[in-house]
Structure 1
Amino acid sequence: MRKLLLFLLLVSASPGFAHVGSSGVVLQGQAGAYRLLVDVQPPDVIPGTAQVTVYVESGDASRVLARPIYFRSGDEGAPDYDALEPVSGQLGQFQGIVWLMENGSSSVQIKIEGAQGEGEMVVPLVAMSTAERDMPAGLGWTLTALGLLLVILLVTVIGASVSDGMLRAGQVLSPQQKRKRWLNMGIAFVACVLILYGGSSWWDSWAREYRQYMYKPLTATGTVVRQDGQRVFQLKIDTTDSKSKRGANYLSYLVPDHGKMMHLFLVRTPGLDAFAHLHPERIDSTTFQAYLPKLPAGKYLVYGDIFSYSGFTETLTDTIDIPELVEGQAIRRTDPEDTYVVTDPLNEPKNIPLDANVVVCGKPGTRTALLDGSYVVWEGQANQVFAAGKPYQLKFEVFAPDGTAARLQPYLGMAGHAAVVRSDGSVYVHLHPVGTVAMASELSLKNRIADTARVFKRAAPGIFRDSIDRHVAALKKMPDTERENFLMQEMGMEVTADSTTHEGMDHGSSISFPYAFPRAGQYRIFLQVKRNGQVLTGIFDARVEEEGI
């Protein structure tokens, strides 16, 4: 019970955009002939500076530039580039800051110059004010003392200017002159008080407005209902909360990511020993629904990723109680690619009963078997400990049952997916082989940069939503191969006979995910790949400590 309350407190305090508890953006890709890994840490106060680190993994770069591009104003309204400085002693690493002046969906455009010519790369970014900065107590008292001193000096100078300035040498103030001095000093003091009061009121008003426009995550409520003997999960988004500054029309501008309107992840707490990746259907603007697979009963963490046309991504969070399944009832699926697995609880002996959907958890440097008899090896040292905040390549190699390299099929337009969850549920991220960025966001912002309109104009909510619903319905009717090819091409991937590549990155039977664990703790990684038409899930645990410990 205490762990559950801790989770609820952490989730309620964490921003819901992009992911949960992991605000940084890590993206790997090609900028012309250069292969880059970019790590962007956005500010929690806007205006503010984003910390940008660029790792040039291939190519000889001599100069790296960066600038922000906001979705609303696009490339036409973007500022000039700022140069990133080479990091001393780190070959191919550049670091610097980018000023972000507007809330909302934006991107950092990277421009690189070197021996292989020029290249560009766009890193989607959600920039929102999520915190207030308190003035340090010492600074506050110092400024107060200086302000009082200035008031005293100002009042004294004004009093002297209307009395002492009229005296000749050796003269003293007459009673009338003294009264005039005190009168003017009183007037000056009142004027200073009024000025200070006006300034304080203006500051308080500005602070209230700032708090009003601080990011407030959308709230959603998950429930499980019975329909024709089936357990049906429903997630309803609350649009009545004025704090979020978004209404029902906002939800009409959602777009699919990898062909799905929502990616829903359910993880049983506290052991993280049951996992499902579902794709609910949109029933109306605020309601999503999906049949539940054969998950065991218990309390589950809910993470639902949704995506706006502007590139703004959010994760809806909740907890639900899933009741026992009625024995003998045939299980329906909302989407053919909905999956689930059961595994051993975190930090407990591996004593789970093996059945058709049970996998055993692994660690770095070990292998774990998949449901079809193939297995995955997490490349790395046994018992490896990761440092918080440091980017890593989480590399996995998939092998067929006979030990040969497995042939992976595209899964939702990519070589694979992964979900990373901290033991207390306070960190969640949906990873792709290119990083933490949702492909819908990357595509949306690239298209916006190509658009020459200074201010973006959107279609009417109903028209936009209907067009998206028709698009998703058409995708669902496509044969698997045709749909995967369409999704890969839509996301800028090259479709080949044996593998998929994204801007030159060939995965083959191996797959890697660039990621920086945000803070210390225990994490569970749910890796998903597709082989012989079946989505397979491998589960691994990672231990993370603060850097330098």
Structure 2
Amino acid sequence: MHTGLRITAFAAALAATFGTAYGVGRGVDPLVAESAPAPHDRHGGVSAQPEEAREGGGREGHGATPPGGLQVTENGYTLDLATPRVTAGQRTELRFTVRDGDGEAVTAYQREHGKELHLVLASRDLVTYRHLHPTRAADGTWSTPVDLPRAGGYRVLADFTPAKKNAENLTLGADLAASGRYEPAHLPAPDGTAGVDGYQVELAGSLRPGRESGLKLKVSRDGEPVTDLQPYLGAYGHLVALRSGDLAYLHVHPNGEPGDGTTEPGPEISFTAAAPSGGTYRLFLDFQHRGEVHTAAFTVRAGSAPGTQDFGGHGH
């Protein structure tokens, strides 16, 4: 994925009713952010947005990369999801193919941050998140094992660049249903601190619609700053943001990179990003330490009153 930001917006939520069976049609990656339910609370355009996504701005903010990825097909390429349904709690092989305008499977890609294709899988309620790196067979079929803990609607997002001269990066999306008993969860309230696997991550700065702003994330363990983060996919951290409601997608890489002579291996990882609009977002930070990758998750609101979404002092 390129340094900088790319945003993909998704529409069409899957319907479900509390306490009923979800999506019964038929029938891991270690990067997981499972959020305990809280008590309360580039490409193409967007035809419509849910109410929550319109908070603080209405239209997509000017100056941000326009959202895309609303389509399974874009610029002559199609995401052909061969596994549109799985069963919650059961390990399943997720399989898909990227096809060109002639319907042929794409078998050549540009490598970005060590991978030909990056895959994000997230539940519609943003409680379950996966950042996956599937394996491609010689015939162009991609596959990766998944074990989704909860029934409900999910979004599968494939981010790639074909190995074709002057090809642009594409992000294609498709819906995935996990069958089982569905119980909706509430998005956790905004908080400037997140805990994961014994680590604490502090978020400073704010996500602003339509213009770039700085975000800093500081990693500590047992009250001590972590100063020996390890490179993961060529960076000390990777950040993904998903907009609540339509799952508009934003991916940025940090400012600087390992070995550039100026970027330190922690405790802070800094990013520059712009939200496509106001609204509530869920941020997922992947970082590696002592050989293991961890994912910290935050809820933020872009486009709120000035100063209300600035977390901490070390980011200013």
TM-score (norm 1): 0.39
Q: What is the aligned partner in structure 1 of residue 132 from structure 2?
A: 278
Distance 1:502 1:347, change over 3 A: same
Distance 1:256 1:308, change over 3 A: same
Distance in 1, Cα, partners of 2:86 & 2:151:
14
Structure showing greater relative contact order (alpha-carbon pairs closer than 8 Å, 6 or more residues apart): 2
Q: Deviations over 1:410-459 (max 9, x none)?
A: 11121111111000234102221149xxxxxxxxxxxxxxxxxxxxxxxx
Aligned partner letter, 1:312: E
Counterparts of residues 470-549 of structure 1 (less than 5 Å)? 500-502=258-260, 504-545=262-303
Unaligned runs of 5+ in 2: 1-9, 15-41, 50-61, 69-73, 307-316
Unaligned runs of 5+ in 1: 9-13, 22-38, 45-125, 127-213, 240-244, 325-343, 349-360, 436-492, 494-499
Query: Matched residue of 2:96: which SS?
Result: strand
Q: Is the 8 A contact 1:301 1:425 kept in 2?
A: no
Match of 1:15 among 35, 39, 43: 43
Match of 1:319 among 167, 175, 188: 175
Counterparts of residues 363-374 of structure 1 (less than 5 Å)? 363=191, 366-371=192-197, 373-374=198-199
Distance in 2, Cα, partners of 1:5 & 1:422:
11
Counterparts of residues 410-489 of structure 1 (less than 5 Å)? 410-434=231-255
Distance in 1, Cα, partners of 2:79 & 2:132:
19
More helix by share: 1
Residue 289 (str. 1) matches residue 289 (str. 2): no
Aligned partner letter, 1:510: E
Distance in 1, Cα, partners of 2:65 & 2:250:
16
Query: Matched residue of 1:254: which SS?
Result: coil
Residue 235 (str. 1) matches residue 104 (str. 2): no
Distance 1:16 1:267, change over 3 A: farther
Counterparts of residues 102-501 of structure 1 (less than 5 Å)? 215=75, 218-223=78-83, 224=85, 230-239=91-100, 245=101, 248=104, 251-269=106-124, 271-293=125-147, 295-309=149-163, 310=166, 312-323=168-179, 345-347=185-187, 363=191, 366-371=192-197, 373-380=198-205, 386-434=207-255, 500-501=258-259
Distance 1:236 1:531, change over 3 A: same
Distance 1:540 1:42, change over 3 A: closer
TM-score (norm 2): 0.65
Distance in 2, Cα, partners of 1:277 & 1:232:
15
By how many angstroms is 1:399 displaced? Answer: 0.5
Distance 1:400 1:523, change over 3 A: same
Distance in 1, Cα, partners of 2:159 & 2:220:
30
Cα RMSD after superposing both structures: 3.7
Q: Is the 8 A contact 1:16 1:314 kept in 2?
A: no
By how many angstroms is 1:512 displaced? Answer: 1.4
Runs of 4 or more off by more than 3 Å in structure 1?
4-8, 14-17, 39-44, 214-217, 344-348, 501-507
Q: Deviations over 1:432-489 (max 9, x none)?
A: 1149xxxxxxxxxxxxxxxxxxxxxxxxxxxxxxxxxxxxxxxxxxxxxxxxxxxxxx
Distance in 2, Cα, partners of 1:516 & 1:507:
24
Q: Is the 8 A contact 1:388 1:547 kept in 2?
A: no
| Larger Rg over CA atoms | 1
By how many angstroms is 1:217 displaced? Answer: 5.5
Distance in 1, Cα, partners of 2:66 & 2:284:
29
